[in-house]
């Protein structure tokens, strides 16, 4: 793995899914959903640790398989959680609409009763009783909504205390004065290449696939061993890169979802003859290629995140703020 900045893709999981389709339970409140999501993420972290411990030292093939599996698990659970919350919000909005319509109808009936003097007292009492039940239902919903808002506020306070939130806010405070913001990239093991691909299309109109970027990057590094071997160390031993390991490293770039880092960024900058700027929350921006360290319009712009996902390192694309 390259020294300096490296990358890690996020994870999600199928742990604790409410059913195969991802639909939430009919009686599950938003607070229940958030609580279940926290439990599922905790279970996922335990599962990830177990997967990591299952890899024997030096078993590179198994390590790659586990890395890919973990990235898929985290991406899946993140997507499912977002879908469940969206479904719940839509369902709650529909329920509120129905309740409001019903209340208006009851008020209209009550108005008719009050204006009809010859209607039987018993019928009038029945309508008043139904109106009272409706009012109680409204009050109960109001209390539930107030409680929900209170819990949401508590959750927001908790979220603002997380390393992920604080890191993103620092990055946005650096980018916004320049008219820039963060575009989230899928955490699937290819985030560096996906972010570069997004930048090439956005700024230069070049549609380059992740697969092509990996092939070009691996081949370029292998063809320039004298330059790139100093960037790379053996992650299992910490020793300097040997010719044998260097060859396998380049093959991994081209054929697997191995994470990329500084060596790969240098290679891509050289291949496309474009500078790359990496924005970081805890350090000055890192400038790669083209020497003058200016944040040129044509520069490819990425953001580097240490806390974006449970596995740590991640790259996003930096785009103009609209």
Catalytic (active-site) positions: 188, 191, 314
Are residues 176 and 286 in contact, defined by beta-carbon separation less than 8 angstroms? no
DSSP annotation of 307: E
DSSP 285: P
Give the 3-state DSSP-derived string for the chain, with helices as H, strands as E and coil as C. CECCCCCCCCCECCCCCCCCCCCCCCCCCHHHHHHHHHHHHHHHHHHHHHHHHCCCCCCHHHHHHHHHHHHHHHHHHHHHHHHHHHHHHHHHHHHHHHHHHHHHHHHHHHHHHHCCCCCCHHHHHHHHHHHHHHHHHHHHHHHHHHHHHHHHHHHHHHHHCCHHHHHHHHHHHHHHHHCEEEECCCCCCCHHHHHHHHHHHHHHCCCCCHHHHHHHHHHHHHHCHHHHHHHEECCCCCCECCHHHHHHHHHHHHHCCCCCCHHHHHHHHHHHCCCEEEECCCCCCEEECCCCCCCCCCCEEEEEEEEEECCEEEEEEEEECC
Q: Compute the distance between CA of residue 18 and CA of residue 24 in angstroms, rounded to an integer.
A: 6
């Amino acid at each position: 793995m390259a020294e300096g900045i490296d990358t890690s893709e996020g994870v999600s999981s199928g742990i604790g899914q409410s059913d195969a389709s991802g639909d939430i339970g009919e009686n599950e409140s938003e607070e229940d959903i958030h609580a279940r999501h926290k439990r599922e993420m905790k279970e996922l972290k335990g599962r990830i640790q177990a997967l990591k411990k299952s890899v024997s030292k030096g078993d590179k093939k198994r390590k790659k398989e586990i890395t890919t599996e973990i990235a898929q698990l985290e991406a899946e659970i993140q997507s499912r959680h977002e879908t469940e919350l969206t479904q719940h919000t839509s369902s709650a909005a529909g329920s509120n609409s129905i309740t409001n319509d019903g209340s208006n109808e009851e008020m209209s009936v009550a108005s008719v009763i009050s204006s009809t003097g010859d209607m039987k007292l018993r019928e009038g009492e029945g309508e008043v009783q139904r109106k009272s039940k409706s009012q109680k239902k409204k009050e109960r919903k109001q209390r539930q909504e107030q409680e929900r808002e209170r819990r949401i506020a508590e959750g927001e306070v908790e979220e603002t205390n997380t390393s992920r939130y604080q890191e993103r806010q620092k990055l946005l405070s650096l980018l916004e004065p320049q008219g820039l913001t963060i575009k989230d990239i899928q955490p699937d093991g290819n985030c560096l290449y996906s972010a570069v691909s997004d930048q090439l299309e956005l700024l230069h109109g070049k549609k380059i696939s992740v697969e092509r970027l990996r092939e070009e990057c691996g081949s370029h590094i292998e063809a320039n061993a004298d330059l790139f071997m100093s960037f790379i160390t053996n992650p299992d031993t910490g020793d300097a890169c040997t010719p044998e390991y260097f060859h396998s490293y380049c093959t991994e770039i081209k054929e697997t979802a191995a994470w990329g880092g500084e060596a790969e960024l240098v290679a891509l900058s050289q291949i496309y003859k474009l500078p790359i700027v990496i924005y970081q929350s805890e350090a000055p921006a890192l400038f790669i290629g083209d020497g003058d360290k200016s944040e040129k319009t044509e520069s490819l712009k990425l953001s580097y995140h240490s806390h974006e996902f449970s596995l740590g390192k991640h790259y996003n694309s930096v785009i103009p703020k609209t």
